[in-house]
Structure 1
Amino acid sequence: MTLGALQVPGDPRQILGLILVAAMLLAGLLALVYRRPQRRHLAARIVMTIIAVIALVLMALQPRWSARARSQNGLLLTPGAPLDHAQALQATLNAQTFLLATADTATWASSLDDFKVIPDAAYLKRHHADIDTLHVAGHGLADYDWEALAGINIIHHAGPLAAGIKHMRWQRNLVAGQRLHIRGVLAPSQHKEGWLYLSDPGGVIDSLEIDSSRETPFQFSLAPRDTGRFLYEMYFNAPAEKAMWREEFEVIVTPPPVLHILVIEAAPNFETAYLMRWLAKQNHAVASRTTISRERHRFAFLNHAKVELMRLAPSLLKRYDLLLIDGRALSELSARERSRLSETITQNGLGVLLMPDEIVLNREQQNFSGHEFFLNFKLAAFPDLEERLVKPKWPDGGDDATTALPAEPFEIAYNRNLKPLIKDEHDRILAAAHRRGRGWIALQLVRDSYRWILAGASAHYAAYWSHLLAEISRSPSEEKWELPETKPLIVDQPLQVRLATGASFPIGTIATENGETDSLYLRQDAGETTHWWGTYWPRESGWHKIATPNGVSQWFYVYEKHAWQTWQETEKVAATERYVWRQENHVKQSEESTQTQTAAIPLLIFQSENRSSSSSLKLRPQKWNSHKSRRLFCGSSFLWARQVRNFILRLKSQTSKS
């Protein structure tokens, strides 16, 4: 309960109730005083009674005064702060100056006066807890450093970024045949024009002319030349000068896994014919059964031994990683075969890709058992179209310049259980998958992707089908490591990794090229029981390999502290601005907590009876707590009662003498 600068802790209803009880007590005591036959000193007795009751009420309520606190400022200099700007802030703020211990500390020390070098930001909380407002000059701090400064108001004075790469995204892990797509943004520099070069271990492979006087986006697209672990390099050359900066980034290219694919179709189809030939060239094993007429079938085996395909037995289905089937062929299977197929999908992880036909697209014709399991896709039709031309896009793939392909006049409606795989140029879903146990069932609406081959765009055809097959085929392992895709990994910076596994209490092992190993203990995700998270702090640069006891491994590269300098500066500026933005959303609460302080009002009425208690109360009012207050209230109540009794006895004795 607040009345201006006066604050009374507690529920207002309880406070009013206590005041009402005190008023009734006061009224009773005043009535007793007034009815006394001896009228001498009546006014004094009334005043003393009122004072005593008020003192008791104040003891119970513990009122406090709020006053504006004196703000304690500090100045933290981080890398990136211009020297003249730092000197101006130091002179203007007249605050204690702190300097983070970095490689540039000696340079700063020769130019600044009256500063203190600190090892990290948490040092301020440990040794200078009185600072409530901190001015930060330069690029600021990383996210994990701001956690140590929670509760301190921050004012950021950002410094300029060095020339280099602000942001860059690329695929760290590729399968042979996939294209490497690199997209990023360059920070501006003092040079207006120059060339941005991209090279692999064999030399320069591409370049771009760049106007570096402003923030400039860039992108490259290329096909890696071989499989293995490589360090690519990107650097910028200004006219008549050497490279202004160089950055390395890792790319890991692995051979595509050999898939065993079963194709069942109700009629011959050019799409599947081209697809089977392409799959065979990629060394995949393909077996197909195509219905030619009633009770007549054609069989084909590419990189595959001949087997019996007329009956879909469990032992046959377990051999394959992916099944391509159209709606009519699915409906012509027996109910027992569909049951076996669904069991293989849910229990063994078989992937299924549905090829569009009249049964897949028309719900009225889906009258066979198990259609809800296989065909659980909601389609939105384009009623005025028989087909539509689309330019398929997928993560790190697709291009507006590619040849448009015909697609069914539908789009797949999104829901939270759906995994989109391919979209068109208008962000409509062309291919998507549903999870079924350990496997996937996917539907794609593109009709004649082989037109890319006829148009000379075989690379787009390969990338399209490589992406689809990789997303839905049976995984060779139930475990998979996932590392960040949007940032380089730096020495002494936290690396968040995730492991998808069905194992209980998995433990990761991280090995360096020097043979040193570390154990990584993981915590289970609160929402998904098969996901486990861990944090690793790399201590040295170079290639690292993270693995599980089952042998599932993933390579990654860690860069030196001084690498990717512009990116590190950008991340620190962004983290600092996020912290400041969160503070601005709670500015009122921050002002109340940092600009005002409250102190208990000293109650001096009992000083004569308990001098030590009252003196400690006067000097350290902030040390009160609820337990001390209750003990002091009870003791003081007893002293008050004794003092009132003695006063009454003295009055009686004086009255009797008179």
Structure 2
Amino acid sequence: MIDWNYVVIGLSLFLLFFLIRKEVRRSNRARLGWRLIATILAVISFACLALPITYNHTEAVGVTKEAVLLTDGFSRDSVNKFISQNNAVPVLTTNKNLSDAAKFNAVFVPDISLLSRTYSDITTFHVFGYGMSKDELQHIKKGSVIFHPTKLSAGISSISWNQKMKTGEKLFIQGRVENSTSGKLKIVLKSFNATLDSVALANGNNQRFELTTIPKHGGRAVYSIVFLSGKDTIEKELVPVQIEQGAALKVLMLAATPDFENRFLKDRLGEKGYKVVARTTISKNKFRKDYLNTSPLPVDRITTSLLNNFDIAIADAAALQALSKTEQATLQGQVALGRMGLIVKVDSGMQSSSFYGRRFPLVAQAGNQDQNIQLKLSDTSSKLPALAIENPIFIRSVYGTQPVVMDKQNRVFANSTLMGAGKIILTTITNTFSWALSGYQNEYDQYWSELLNKAAPKKTASEVWGISPAFPAINQPAQLQVETSNAGVPHGQIGEASVFLKAHSDLPFRWEGTYYPTSVGWRTGVQMDGVRFYWYAYNKQDWTKVRAAETLEATRQFVTENGNTVKASEKVLQTTKAEFPKIVFFMLFLLFAGYLWVENKF
């Protein structure tokens, strides 16, 4: 097909040739030059009426193209105000079920990763609400976010607890509350409608709280935390925990003389399933030997073959001093190799020349009088019952040691240090049996569980599995992670479903895969060695305030680090093509054609 422009140009040239020929052949040769010029311009003007004559137009325009992105918790009033000041701004959301989003005709974007690709022309996203998670923000272009955060309503804004523990260990919960209400505030920890612990809160924002309990059951359970204002329930959340039995430790006890402390400890460890061998000196080279939950062993001499049967040795300082240098060196070597831990009990003085003495300088209490000491475990700040201690001795903290038990003046009564790959704990508390006699059996168990768990050698697992985020929700992606030194590609399994794992880009021993839980409750994973592990899938409505606080902080940090690189006032020069107005060519045609008509008449 012949282009229209060529047709117009061809006809115009033919017309121009005809008119010029006519003017040249006229008998009246007056003003011939002007007539030829007018003829040429008239034909050109006439041709331009049919041709698309364009020109380049340059103007300063704003470089920003903005959009509103609605997230959980957005304020309707804030969005309305912004839209009224910015006409025709598009409204987007990645949450299909977001309340009130339909009132703004929000366009649903099914995946955050599609946002930048589908709306690549958007330079600035005005994010309203609680913002986005760290994973979601990875798909957002840096410098493209202006955040309009929503203030958190009253509720628990942060929470943490030890989700896995051994039997007898304490569940320790720490958190923070955002509060805008008045009245008597209380946080309650419950199990099957029984109150396990509670704490009253003062009015005001950012109140910290702590809750503790010692689970009396094994296996898995789901506790609950209730936030109360008077009799009104502000929030109720789930706290799933796992209590593992754990392998029974093998304990060697060495006592210089018979006493109540060793007798009570030996019997209690035996009741709890520990394998205990106790050697008590009766006279020189004569020992009483007790065996609980284990077969008899020759314990007259401390040898490497004997110590290989134990995880921990509990000994009086006097019993250690009575060992030969060879026996002391053998015990020290086992600890340094990480094959066992050592707990030393000191009731008076000890030789500073011993292999552990220099690490634990002792300080006797001035006055040498009996005192009721209020003790606490340093890791959890859990208070223990007051204990009457005769002539109390505390341990001066030095570099390389870590307190285990202190009093309210932060004086150390049990301290720990590393020796090679193993750990040594020294305690100056030698009458803990008084707690058991006074009815504080749980506290007695807690104290010794703390010391034994800290001293016991840690066994390195060949594979460690985990789930992120902290509160995986149903129908939301959860990251299954494993760290392993085993060769080959690990296989992930949740229930009957297989999970494909891929290697981490920076950590060669870590593998990750995505899994979507479909129901609330405990999920069962299977390790490569066949051992099962468990994790809890939450409802989307669980821990909403904590999730909101995390996304608020993540989005604020993203904006702080990256800013917004495009300002509303910025302009750029933009060149566009514009068509020349036809009326101009029409007026020019009339002008030149009129001249030719008038010139011909007169």
TM-score, length basis structure 2? 0.71
Which of 369, 373, 377 lines up with 1:393 in the alignment? 377
Other-structure match for 1:517: 498
SS in 2 for 1:185: strand
Gap change, CA 1:69 and 1:265, over 3 Å in 2: farther
Q: 1:93 to 1:595 in 2, by over 3 A?
A: closer
1:490 to 2:473 alignment: yes
Shift of 1:348: 6.5
Measured in 1, the distance between the counterparts of 2:406 and 2:528 equals 38
Deviation at 1:557, TM superposition (A): 1.1
1:409 aligns with 2:390: no
Pair 594,92 (structure 1): closer, same or farther in 2 beyond 3 Å: closer
1:96 corresponds to which of 89, 96, 99: 89
CA deviations on 1:324-377 (whole Å, 9 max, x unpaired) are 1244433443344344434544556222222236675x53x33xxxx2xx5562
The answer on 1:566 being equivalent to 2:557 is no
The amino acid of 1:393's aligned partner reads L
Match of 1:271 in 2: 261
Please point out which of 305, 323, 327 is paired with 1:337: 327
1:145-224 matched pairs, under 5 angstroms: 145-162=136-153, 164-188=155-179, 192=183, 198-200=189-191, 202-206=192-196, 215=205, 217-224=208-215
Quote the residue 2:219 is aligned against.
228
Question: What is the deviation of 1:260?
Answer: 1.6
Distance 1:170 1:308, change over 3 A: same
Distance change >3 Å, CA 238–CA 427, structure 1 → 2: closer
Please tell me whether the aligned partners of residues 405 and 451 of structure 1 are also in contact (alpha carbons under 8 angstroms): no
RMSD of aligned alpha carbons: 4.3
Match of 1:85 among 78, 88, 92: 78
Q: How far apart are the structure 1 equivalents of 2:282 and 2:439? A: 31
Decide whether the 8 Å contact of 2:156 with 2:546 is kept in 1: yes
Q: Is the 8 A contact 2:254 2:278 kept in 1?
A: yes
What is the match of residue 323 of structure 1?
313
Give the paired residue count.
510
Q: Distance in 1 between matches of 2:463 and 2:389?
A: 34
Deviation of 1:276 after TM superposition, in Å, equals 1.7
Q: 1:131 to 1:377 in 2, by over 3 A?
A: farther
Task: Note closer, same or farther for the CA distance 1:260–1:106 as it changes in structure 2 (3 Å cut).
Answer: closer
**Match of 2:138, SS?**
helix
One-letter code aligned to 2:453:
A
- Aligned pair in 2 of structure 1 residues 405, 229: CA closer, same or farther (>3 Å)? farther
| Deviation of the 1:71 alpha carbon | 4.4
Within 2, Cα distance between the matches of 1:70 and 1:521? 41
Who is 1:259 aligned against? 249
- 1:553–1:469 CA distance, 2 compared to 1 (3 A): farther
| Structure 1 residues 3-402: aligned runs within 5 Å | 70-94=63-87, 96-105=89-98, 107-109=100-102, 111-112=103-104, 115-129=106-120, 131-162=122-153, 164-188=155-179, 192=183, 198-200=189-191, 202-206=192-196, 215=205, 217-235=208-226, 245-347=235-337, 349-356=339-346, 362-363=351-352, 365-366=353-354, 371=355, 374=356, 377=359, 379=361, 381=363, 389=373, 391-396=375-380, 398-399=382-383, 402=386
User: In structure 1, how many angstroms separate the alpha carbons of the residues matched to 2:270 and 2:322?
Assistant: 27
Give the SS at the match of 1:149.
Answer: coil
Unmatched runs of 5 consecutive residues or more in structure 2: 1-59, 577-602
Identical amino acids, percent of aligned pairs:
21
CA distance in 1, matches of 2:427, 2:263: 17
TM-aligned CA distance change 1:204 to 1:456, over 3 Å: closer
The 3 A distance-change label for structure 1 pair 399 and 126 is: same
Question: More helix by proportion, 1 or 2?
Answer: 1
The DSSP-based 3-state class of the residue aligned with 1:571 is: helix
Is the contact made by 1:182 and 1:221 (CA closer than 8 Å) also made in structure 2?
Answer: yes
Aligned-pair distance for 1:547?
A: 4.8
Alignment check: 8 A CA contact 1:523 1:534 kept: yes
Partner of 1:458: 441
Query: How far does residue 440 in structure 1 lie from its aligned partner after superposition?
Result: 2.9
My pick for the range that moved more, 151-160 or 205-214, is 205-214
CA contact (8 A) 2:144 2:565 kept: no
Q: Contact conserved, 1:509 with 1:546, CA < 8 A, in 2?
A: no
Distance 1:412 1:214, change over 3 A: closer
Q: Is the 8 A contact 2:157 2:549 kept in 1?
A: yes
Residues 210, 443 of structure 1: alpha-carbon distance in 2 compared, 3 angstrom cutoff: closer
The Cα offsets for residues 26-77 of structure 1, whole Å up to 9 and x where unpaired, read as xxxxxxxxxxxxxxxxxxxxxxxxxxxxxxxxxxxxxxxxx99844444322
Which residue matches 1:469?
Answer: 452
Alpha-carbon offset, residue 141 of structure 1: 0.5
Structure (1 or 2) with the larger CA radius of gyration: 2
Deviation at 1:452, TM superposition (A): 2.6
What secondary structure is seen at the aligned counterpart in 2 of 1:86? helix
Identify unmatched segments of 5+ residues in structure 1: 1-66, 600-617, 621-658
Correspondence 1:542-557 to 2 at 5 A:
542-551=521-530, 553-557=532-536
Are 1:347 and 1:438, in contact at CA under 8 Å, matched by a contact in 2?
yes
How many Å separate the matches in 1 of 2:65 and 2:325?
78
Partners of 1:554 and 1:263 in 2: how far apart? 34
Which position in structure 1 is the counterpart of 2:554?
Answer: 575
Q: Aligned AA for 2:427? A: Q
Q: Distance in 2 between matches of 1:410 and 1:239?
A: 46
Amino acid at match of 1:315: S
Distance 1:582 1:76 in 2: 20
Instruction: Please give the alpha-carbon distance, in whole angstroms, between the structure 2 residues aligned to 1:444 and 1:165.
Output: 39
Task: Output the CA distance in 2 between the equivalents of 1:68 and 1:422.
Answer: 69
* 2:359 counterpart SS class: coil
Counterpart amino acid of residue 128 in structure 2 = A
Do the aligned partners of residues 239 and 265 (structure 1) sit closer, same or farther apart at CA in structure 2, a change above 3 Å counting?
A: closer
Q: 1:581 to 1:118 in 2, by over 3 A?
A: same
For 1:539, the aligned partner's letter is Y
Q: CA deviation at 1:322?
A: 0.9
For 2:71 and 2:256, the matched residues in 1 are separated by 69
Normalised TM-score (structure 1): 0.65
Contact 1:78–1:99 under 8 Å retained in 2: no
**Which residue type is aligned with residue 284 of structure 1?**
Y
For residues 383 and 191 of structure 1, the distance between their equivalents in structure 2, rounded to whole angstroms, comes to 47
